[in-house]
Amino acid sequence: MDFLVLFLWYLAFILVTVILICICSKTPRLKGLAQEGAQCWDCKRMLPYLANNHIFIVLHLVLQGTVYVEYTWEILGYCQDLEFSLSYLLLPYLLLIVNLVFFTLTCVTNPGTITKADELLFLQVYEFDNVMFPQNARCSTCDLRKPARSKHCSVCDRCVHRFDHHCVWVNNCIGAWNTRYFLTYLSTLTVSTATIAAVSAAFLVHLVMVSDLYQEMYLDDLGRLQEMDFVLIIQYLFLSFPRIVFLLGFVLVLSFLLGGYLCFVIYLAATNQTTNEWYRGDWTWCQHCPLVARSQSADPKVYRNIHSRGLWSNLGEIFLPALPYYQKKKK
């Protein structure tokens, strides 16, 4: 039971650390301290290494494979003995196949690399708001005019059209041409993880109900008979099925993390925003652009999302990326 307590403390520490990092990244003073700390590690030397290795892809596949090996080795057999529905038990494998297909597509698809040959084409896709995306901005690294909503990825060393973020788990940027694959990959990964968690939990609950474990009695340290409580049932299950309980804890935490991130990505897709645009905006949902220098005499420039065209049009732009043409406004 001590191991479970330590494991819960470990998970709590990880979650608190992630939350603090997110808060620090949005607080100017703390953000400055974080950047100074990052410079001590000389991150620039690490970028070429991160750009050309596949360690996170291998780690992703190893973790996913380990979960499915344990699911197949123990949970599937036990659930078949308990006469669980076969279609319910095989659902994680179907989701795995779909997930691996879109994982591969996300990895290998060109996210929308901007080159000299297609620079003018990309400049006509989105309007410039002249706040977050100035019209005459240039990329000093690629020596290109920066189209609206584009960004230079320091890891891949290229400018990407409708840049969202660089995902180390697929070793690729997420841009205009592979966002649909990334969203489907993330959705199937979340659902498959939640399905395995549901099957594992259903097996353990069914086992407790069939064995009437919750009605058992035990002797405490003072020699008195006590009814089995929730903590003791968890302890018993952990001692009897340690790998299954550990797997359940892992996929439960992973399901909540992936589910939260999936909701965030769906929100961005529904409002036609990218992670880059959301991050560069103010804490109040990107209402003001903090990158524009403001003075008391100058009127503050307000950032507004001019690319949102309604829910279905925004989703259509994600799953059926096209090259919309915006007519120039007459002065």
Tally the domains of the chain: 1
Tally the C-alpha atoms within 13 A of residue 318's C-alpha that lie toward its C-beta: 25
How confident is the model over 25-81, as pLDDT tens digits?
445 544 444 444 434 444 445 555 554 568 889 999 999 999 999 999 989 988 888
Domain extent at residue 202: 43-319
Listed ranges 213-222, 224-233, 240-249, 317-326; the one with the highest mean pLDDT: 240-249
SS3 217: strand
Q: What integer pLDDT is reported at residue 170 of this predicted model? A: 94
What span, in angstroms and rounded, lies between the C-alpha atoms of 3 and 104?
A: 37
Contact 92, 192 (CB under 8 A): yes
Give the residue-averaged pLDDT of 169-175.
Answer: 93
Q: What integer pLDDT is reported at residue 232 of this predicted model? A: 72
How confident is the model over 283-323, as pLDDT tens digits?
434 344 444 444 444 455 667 788 888 999 999 999 988 65
Distance of CA 126 to the CA centre of its chain: 26
Q: Is residue 27 part of a domain?
A: no
CB atoms within 10 A of CB 296: 4
Q: Is residue 195 part of a domain?
A: yes
The conformation of residue 88, written as its DSSP 8-state character, comes to: H
Mean pLDDT of the chain: 79
What span, in angstroms and rounded, lies between the C-alpha atoms of 227 and 275?
A: 51
Q: Is residue 19 part of a domain?
A: no
Q: Is residue 83 part of a domain?
A: yes
* Proportion of the chain above pLDDT 70, given as a percent: 69
Listed ranges 72-86, 127-141, 158-172, 214-228; the one with the highest mean pLDDT: 158-172
* Burial call 71-81: b when 16+ CB within 10 Å, e when fewer: beebbbebbee
Least confident of 18-32, 83-97, 203-217: 18-32
The residue among 129 and 231 whose pLDDT is bigger is 129
Least confident of 52-66, 127-141, 179-193, 230-244: 230-244
The residue among 24 and 60 whose pLDDT is bigger is 60
Q: Is residue 198 part of a domain?
A: yes
Q: How far is CA 219 from CA 214, 222, 225, 226, in A?
A: 15, 8, 5, 6
The residue among 262 and 283 whose pLDDT is bigger is 262
How confident is the model over 92-132, as pLDDT tens digits?
999 999 999 999 999 999 999 999 988 888 988 888 888 88
Query: Is pLDDT above 80 for 269?
Result: yes
Closest CA to 34 of 21, 46, 44: 21
Q: Which residue has the tokens 């007519």?
A: 327
Q: How far is CA 287 from CA 54, 61, 282, 301, 305, in A?
A: 37, 39, 6, 10, 9
Q: Is residue 14 part of a domain?
A: no
- Identify each DSSP E strand in 133-210 by its residue range: 138-139, 144-145, 151-153, 158-160, 165-167, 172-174
What span, in angstroms and rounded, lies between the C-alpha atoms of 72 and 69?
A: 5
Q: Is residue 160 part of a domain?
A: yes
Q: Is residue 273 part of a domain?
A: yes
Any catalytic annotation for residue 167? yes
Give the residue-averaged pLDDT of 184-211.
Answer: 91
The conformation of residue 302, written as its DSSP 8-state character, comes to: B
From the candidates 153, 156, 159, 167, which is the catalytic residue?
A: 167
- Identify each DSSP E strand in 92-208 by its residue range: 138-139, 144-145, 151-153, 158-160, 165-167, 172-174
